[in-house]
Amino acid sequence: MAEKKVIAVIFGGRSVEHDVSVLTGLQFLEALDPGKYTGLPVYVDPLGQWWTGDALKKRSYYPVNDSKQKTLSEVKLELATNANGRPSLTTFKKGLMGEKREAIPFDLMVPAIHGSNGEDGTLQGLLEFANIPYAGCRTLGAAATMNKEFTKKQARQNNINVLDEMIMARPKTGTFLDPEAIENELTSVFGAIRYPYIVKPCNLGSSVGVGKADDIDSLIGALMTAFKLDSEVIIEPFVENLVEYNISVRRKLDGTIITSAIERPLRNAELLDFKNKYLGGNEPGAPKAKSGGNSEGMASLNRELNPSNLNTDQIDIIRNSSSKIFDVLNLAGSVRIDFLSNEKTGEIWLNEVNTIPGSFAYFLWEAAEEATSFLALTSDIIEEGFALSAKRLGDTGTHIGGATIFVES
Q: Examine the domain organization and report whether 180 and 126 are in the same domain.
A: no
Indicate whether 112 and 152 sit together in one domain: no
Sheet arrangement for strand 166-169: 166-169, 232-237, 197-201, 211-213
Mean pLDDT by 10 residues, the chain (409 residues): 90 93 97 98 96 96 93 93 83 75 95 93 96 96 95 97 97 89 96 96 80 96 94 96 97 95 82 54 37 48 90 98 97 98 97 95 96 98 96 66 75
Among the listed residues 123, 128, 101, 95, the one whose alpha carbon sits nearest the alpha carbon of residue 111: 123
pLDDT score at 76: 96
Residue 221 lies in a domain: yes
Going by C-alpha positions, the residue among 365, 159, 356, 338 that lies closest to residue 259 is 365
Residue 273 belongs to some domain of the structure: no
Minimal CA–CA distance to 209: which of 117, 274, 282? 274
The Cα–Cα gap between 126 and 79 comes to 9
Nearest CA-CA partner of 346 in 319, 323, 315: 315
Indicate which CATH number applies to the domain containing 186.
3.30.1490.20
Does residue 204 share a domain with residue 84? Answer: no
Looking at the structure, do residues 381 and 247 belong to the same domain, yes or no? yes
Q: Residue 397: inside a domain, yes or no?
A: no
The number of folded domains in the chain is: 3
pLDDT at residue number 391: 86
Examine the domain organization and report whether 261 and 333 are in the same domain: yes
Residues 230 and 330 in one domain: no
Q: Where are the beta strands (DSSP E) in 255-354?
A: 257-265, 303-305, 335-342, 348-354
Q: Does any domain span residue 364?
A: yes
CATH number at residue 257: 3.30.470.20
Answer for the pair 357, 136: CB distance below 8 angstroms, yes or no. Answer: no
Distance CA 354, CA 334 (A): 9
Q: Any idea what the CATH number is for the domain that residue 60 is in?
A: 3.40.50.20
What pLDDT shows up at residue 288? 38
Contact 202, 232 (CB under 8 A): yes
Query: Which pTM does this prediction carry?
Result: 0.89
Q: Give yes or no: residues 375 and 261 share one domain.
A: yes
Angle subtended by helix axes 179-190 and 216-227, to nearest 10: 90
**Which structural domain range is residue 97 located in?**
5-134
CA dist 26 and 59 (Å) reads 7
pLDDT value of position 290 = 37
Residue 258: inside a domain:
yes
Q: Are residues 111 and 201 in the same domain?
A: no
If DSSP codes are grouped into helix, strand and coil, which group holds residue 142? helix
- Give the alpha-carbon dihedral of 4, 5, 10, 11, to 10 degrees: -40
> Is residue 9 in some structural domain?
yes
Q: Are 52 and 103 contained in the same domain?
A: yes
Assess whether 322 and 184 both reside in one domain: no
Residues 41 and 119 both lie in one domain: yes
> Per the domain annotation, does 407 fall within a domain?
no
Q: Looking at the structure, do residues 226 and 311 belong to the same domain, yes or no?
A: no
Query: What is the three-class DSSP state of 59?
Result: helix
Q: What angle do CA 92, 96, 98 make, to 5 degrees?
A: 45
